[in-house]
C-alpha cells in the first residue's frame, strides 16, 4: 500500500540533544512538508521541499533543520537551539503545488 | 500574510446538521481545503474549493464565497465518529509557493 510513514511515534529529548524525526513516502510525491502542532493551535509550517535537493524555510524554522537527498525521504532534526520542542510533529506530502496533503501519523516529541 | 479564523469548539447532537465557518484574509487566494483530524491522529482530506459555490460529497458539503473571504463545512446526519477537529487551510499564490496555511481548527463534539 502506498502511504507516508513517520517514525518514531513517541520521542523523548534530553537537554542539549539533537533528535531526528523520520518521514518516508512511497506515493511518488514531489513535495514534502513538516508541520508542528501545539494544543489549541493550528498546524504551523516548519520547512517544505518541492523537489529533491531543495528546501525552503516555513514560518517557524528556527531551531530545526532538514535534508532532501531522496525523493522519498524528508527527515527533520530538532536541534538543541529549539528551546520549546514539545509538540506533535506532522509530515505531509503532495503531488505538487496547491494539491491536497497526505499526512503521516505524527511523532509526539517530549522533553525529559 | 494570511489571517484564518474558525470557532474553537462546537457541540451538536447525533443525527443533526452542523455548519463550521471559516473566514480568511489573503492577498493571493488560490483555494481552500478542509481536513478532519481525530485526536492524536493524522489529518485527512475532506474537500477543496477554488470557485464560488457548494461542493457536495456524501454527508459533507463545503461552500466558498471568494468575495466575502468565507467558507463553511456542512456536516449532515451527524454520527458519533464525526467528533473530531476540522481544519480550514488556505492556499496563497502571492509568494509563488502555494503552500497552505492552516487555521487553528474547530473541535466538534457530537452528543448522543
pLDDT digits (tens, 9 = 90+) for B62-103: 999 999 999 999 999 999 999 999 999 999 876 677 888 999
A54 — alpha (psi -120 to 50), left (phi > 0) or beta? beta
Q: What pLDDT does residue B28 have?
A: 85
Nearest Cβ partner of B91 from A40, A90, A98?
A: A98
* B1: pLDDT strictly greater than 60: no
Q: What pLDDT does residue B95 have?
A: 66
Output the nine-digit C-alpha cell for B47: 474537500
Q: What pLDDT does residue A35 have?
A: 97
- Contacting residues of B for A40, CB less than 8 Å apart: 8, 104
Distance between A100 CA and the closest CA of chain B, angstroms: 7
Other beta carbons within 10 angstroms of residue A98's beta carbon come to 19
Q: What is the mean pLDDT of residues B49-63?
A: 96
Q: What pLDDT does residue B99 have?
A: 87
- Contacting residues of B for A41, CB less than 8 Å apart: 104
Output the nine-digit C-alpha cell for B32: 481552500
Nearest to A111 by CA among A44, A18, A36: A18
Q: Is A40 on the interface with B (CB under 8 A)?
A: yes
pLDDT tens track for B4-26? 999 999 999 999 999 999 999 98
Q: What pLDDT does residue A39 have?
A: 86
Per-residue pLDDT of chain A (112 residues; tens, 9 = 90+): 679 999 999 999 988 899 999 999 999 999 999 999 998 788 999 999 999 999 999 999 999 999 999 999 999 999 999 989 999 999 999 998 788 999 999 999 998 8
Q: What is the mean pLDDT of residues B29-53?
A: 95
Q: What pLDDT does residue B23 have?
A: 98
- Distance (Å, whole) CA A106 – CA A89: 5
- Contacting residues of B for A91, CB less than 8 Å apart: none
Nearest to B108 by CA among B7, B26, B30, B28: B7
Q: What pLDDT does residue B2 have?
A: 66
Nearest-CA residue of chain B relative to A48? B99
- For A96, counting Cβ atoms within 10 Å of its Cβ (0-12 exposed, 13-18 middle, 19+ buried), the class is exposed
Phi and psi dihedrals of B81, rounded to 5? Answer: -70, -10
Amino acid at each position: 500500500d502506498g502511504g507516508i510513514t513517520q517514525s518514531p511515534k513517541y520521542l523523548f529529548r534530553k537537554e542539549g540533544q539533537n533528535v531526528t524525526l523520520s518521514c518516508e513516502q512511497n506515493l511518488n510525491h514531489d513535495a514534502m512538508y513538516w508541520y508542528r502542532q501545539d494544543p489549541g493551535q493550528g498546524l504551523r509550517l516548519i520547512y517544505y521541499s518541492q523537489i529533491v535537493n531543495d528546501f525552503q524555510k516555513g514560518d517557524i524554522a528556527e531551531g530545526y533543520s532538514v535534508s532532501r537527498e531522496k525523493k522519498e525521504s524528508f527527515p527533520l532534526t530538532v536541534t538543541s537551539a529549539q528551546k520549546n520542542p514539545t509538540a506533535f510533529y506532522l509530515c505531509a506530502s503532495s503531488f505538487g503545488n496547491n494539491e491536497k496533503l497526505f499526512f503521516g501519523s505524527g511523532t509526539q516529541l517530549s522533553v525529559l | 500574510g494570511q489571517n484564518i479564523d474558525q470557532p474553537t469548539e462546537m457541540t451538536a447532537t447525533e443525527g443533526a446538521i452542523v455548519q463550521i465557518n471559516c473566514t480568511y484574509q489573503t492577498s493571493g487566494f488560490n483555494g481552500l481545503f478542509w481536513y478532519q483530524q481525530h485526536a492524536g491522529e493524522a489529518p485527512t482530506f475532506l474537500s477543496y474549493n477554488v470557485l464560488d459555490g457548494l461542493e457536495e460529497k456524501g454527508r459533507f458539503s463545503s461552500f466558498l464565497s471568494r468575495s466575502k473571504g468565507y467558507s463553511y463545512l456542512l456536516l449532515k446526519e451527524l454520527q458519533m465518529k464525526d467528533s473530531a477537529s476540522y481544519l480550514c487551510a488556505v492556499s496563497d499564490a502571492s509568494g509563488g509557493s502555494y503552500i497552505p496555511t492552516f487555521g487553528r481548527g474547530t473541535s466538534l463534539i457530537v452528543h448522543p
